[in-house]
Structure 1
Amino acid sequence: MKYYIIAGEASGDLHGSNLMKALKQKDAQAEFRFWGGDLMEKQGGVLVKHYKDLAFMGFLEVAMNLRTILNNIKFCKEDIKNNKPDYLILVDYPGFNLRIAKFAKELGIKVIYYISPQLWAWKEGRVEIIKKYVDEMLVILPFEEDFYKKHGVHSHFVGHPLLDAISELALTDKEDFKKKNGLNEKEIIALLPGSRKQEVEKMLQIMLSVRPYFEQYQFVIAGAPSLPRSFYEKYVDENVHFVSNKTYDLLRCSKAALVTSGTATLETALLDIPEVVCYRGSKISYAIAKRLVKNINYISLVNLIMDREVVKELIQDDLHTSHLVEELKKVLEGEKRNEILNDYRLLKQKLGGKGASDKAAEIILKV
């Protein structure tokens, strides 16, 4: 079978690569053409475009790069038409992927959506597009199945692929990891500032503002694979270190973490590291988002899945140094830390266990 896969960001690259691995095990004739990143490329096939050329954050940035986005959509349609895949597999990234779903369906290509867009938070009307143009909806959050059922869309809850990704990693010995990366004996506070340049610059500035209050710790920045090491050099000194493409190893060695909202909040939880979730966008983008986002009380996946506050979220004007210091102290020691770790165990149970990629591959091959 010929598979055309579109993943537009780092998390999609991870989940897309694991799905490709599962498909190869079940389909010896599998051929891949994809939009994604380095992890998907390691599984073989043709990388059409890297996600680092697709990631535009916020309403203003999207508007400023609209011509590029429209050109990418046009190119993608032409590429699909020329290569005639058996399956189009879409991984999240809804603004782009829902346009491609309609185009592919009209060509008679089977359309699979793996990892639902967050329609339960905003743009709920897009469910009608999925109903018309998607053959199979594969969801990874337990409440999403009920959401789609309410809208008359059949979906499959396959479990969360991060459980597989984390369990299958060959993680480095903690002491070896510290030694290889020039880390000292102080306990570590990990900084996960995101993956986009604009986002990282904004978040690192506020995250590092807490340093004077935690001199007994060393801070380590988790570098995004889409950004060069040179980008981070201005933040590094004798007590602020940097590692790249080793986020899971870093988290395992850490006492706590400051994490920009997104998939990283769930990754941190699954590795049992207490965290404070941070988010700050431009004032205009945030004001627009507040008007559009409905029916949710949280921004982190941890809290959304548990449907209550497990980890503290500091958003927009609440994200400043004094609040960050206060919340970080709570997760480093004491009762709050123990509560978070207990809740993480319940979180893993709700996510349905391992095997998401295998389940997804089985369903795809039955379409």
Structure 2
Amino acid sequence: MKYYIIAGEASGDLHGSNLIRALRAEDPQAQVRCWGGDRMEQAGGTLVRHYKDMSFMGFLEVLAHLPDIFRNLSFCKADIEAFKPDALIFIDFSGFNLRIASWARKKGVRTHYYIAPQVWASREGRVARMKRDLDAIYAILPFELPFYKRHGVPVHFVGHPLIDAMQGLPEPEPKAFRARHGLDPDKPIIALLPGSRKQEIRKILEVMLQVIPEYPGYQFAIAGAPNLGEAEYAPYLEGTGVTLLMDWTYPLLQHATAALVTSGTATLETALLDVPQVVCYKGNWLSYQIARRLIRLKYISLVNLIMDREVVRELIQDDLRPGTLKAELDRILSPEGRSAQQEAYAELKTRLGGPGASRKAASLIVDFSSRA
């Protein structure tokens, strides 16, 4: 059968690649055409558009790129019609994907959403559109199952795909890792994860770097996002002594004592690797003001949302400044602070369900498509 997958960010590329492998295991004759990244292409998908050309963050940034977005929408529709998939699969990237879903429903294309939009956070009115336009949702967060069921949306809980992504990691080798990247063999590492978008680097990394002089006994290393080049980080790093590791996020976290993490999927990745963290977020002022009026959640990090309590401290917008960041970093470097977070992480893993999210989703999609 034919499968068309649309992902628009680095995390979607990771989960899309695992889904492609699972689809091909369930359906050895699978033909996969996709929007995503290098990982999805390496997994066997025919790459149509790279997420690097599609990822825009914030209301103002989206507005500035509207012509590009409309061109991509038109091209995507034409490409789907030409390919004639048995299943159209969306991965996150809601602004784009929900528009394609609405169009696809009218064309009679079977639609599936894996890693669905966070409509439980804001704009709950979109649920009615999703119920109308989607054949099934494959939920990855435990609280999504009752939410979608309450709205009458066809939904299956498959567990979180990050669990699978983490299982294949090699055992840490501290000496070899440090030698390879020119890191001090004796100093503990604090990882900096400043995000995967240019706007996040500009707003957040500068604040993170300002606390470095307060920690002479530690060394700092940045997890460079694979969709950004070293040149994006260079203006901030001169004279800091910070090591930049491009596309080495998981190994860096495996060797880190603590982490400063931009809100997003990275907060959950950090928790699954048992690294104490402080969550950071700072965006465009106007975009933030609009967002805070739309989003009704108590927390912004997935860790706190899943646990429904503050496990990790969130420093948002004006709260993200060197003084508050140092105070929270001091707390998670203390034995008590580390222990409290790591105990909560153990409960978090239980709530997320077991491994096999990609396999479960693929099996359901293949079964549905074969009966359609």
**TM-score, structure 2 normalization:** 0.96
User: How far does the alpha carbon of each residue in 1:155-179 deviate from its partner, in whole angstroms, 9 at most, with x for none?
Assistant: 1110000000011133552221111
User: How far does the alpha carbon of each residue in 1:76-125 deviate from its partner, in whole angstroms, 9 at most, with x for none?
Assistant: 11111111111100001111001111212222221000011100001111
Deviates more, 1:256-265 or 1:98-107: 98-107
**Equivalent in the alignment of 1:126:** 126
How far apart are 1:6 and its partner, in Å? 0.3
2:290 to 288, 291, 309: 288
User: How far does the alpha carbon of each residue in 1:62-89 deviate from its partner, in whole angstroms, 9 at most, with x for none?
Assistant: 0111111111111111111111111100
1:273 to 272, 275, 279: 275
Q: Is the 8 A contact 2:136 2:153 kept in 1?
A: no
Matched, 1:248 2:245: no
Q: Is the 8 A contact 2:211 2:325 kept in 1?
A: yes
User: How far does the alpha carbon of each residue in 1:282-336 deviate from its partner, in whole angstroms, 9 at most, with x for none?
Assistant: 1100110011112x10000000000000000000111100000000001011312
**Equivalent in the alignment of 2:63:** 63
Whole-angstrom distance in 2 between the partners of 1:298 and 1:291: 14
**Equivalent in the alignment of 1:366:** 367
Matched, 1:32 2:32: yes
**TM-score, structure 1 normalization:** 0.98
Whole-angstrom distance in 2 between the partners of 1:169 and 1:76: 34
- Written as runs of structure 1 = structure 2, the 5 A alignment for 1:151-190 is 151-170=151-170, 173-184=173-184, 185-190=186-191
Whole-angstrom distance in 2 between the partners of 1:172 and 1:4: 36
Matched, 1:264 2:266: yes
How many residue pairs are counted as aligned between the two chains? 366
Matched, 1:334 2:335: yes
Whole-angstrom distance in 2 between the partners of 1:33 and 1:18: 14
Q: Secondary structure at the match of 2:315?
A: strand
Q: Secondary structure at the match of 1:124?
A: coil
**Equivalent in the alignment of 2:304:** 303
- Written as runs of structure 1 = structure 2, the 5 A alignment for 1:64-83 is 64-83=64-83
Q: Give the letter for the 1:61 counterpart.
A: E
Whole-angstrom distance in 2 between the partners of 1:60 and 1:85: 34
User: How far does the alpha carbon of each residue in 1:327-355 deviate from its partner, in whole angstroms, 9 at most, with x for none?
Assistant: 00010113121100000000000000111
Q: Give the letter for the 2:197 counterpart.
A: R
Percent identity (aligned): 57
Segments of structure 2 that go 5 or more residues without pairing to the other structure are none
Matched, 1:227 2:228: yes
Q: Give the letter for the 1:58 counterpart.
A: G
Whole-angstrom distance in 1 between the partners of 2:182 and 2:41: 30
Q: Give the letter for the 1:151 counterpart.
A: H
- Written as runs of structure 1 = structure 2, the 5 A alignment for 1:4-153 is 4-153=4-153
Deviates more, 1:171-180 or 1:349-358: 171-180
Q: Is the 8 A contact 2:138 2:157 kept in 1?
A: yes
Q: Is the 8 A contact 1:236 1:242 kept in 2?
A: no
Segments of structure 1 that go 5 or more residues without pairing to the other structure are none
Q: CA 1:183/1:114 → structure 2, altered by over 3 Å: closer, same or farther?
A: same
Q: Is the 8 A contact 2:276 2:342 kept in 1?
A: yes
Whole-angstrom distance in 1 between the partners of 2:171 and 2:122: 37
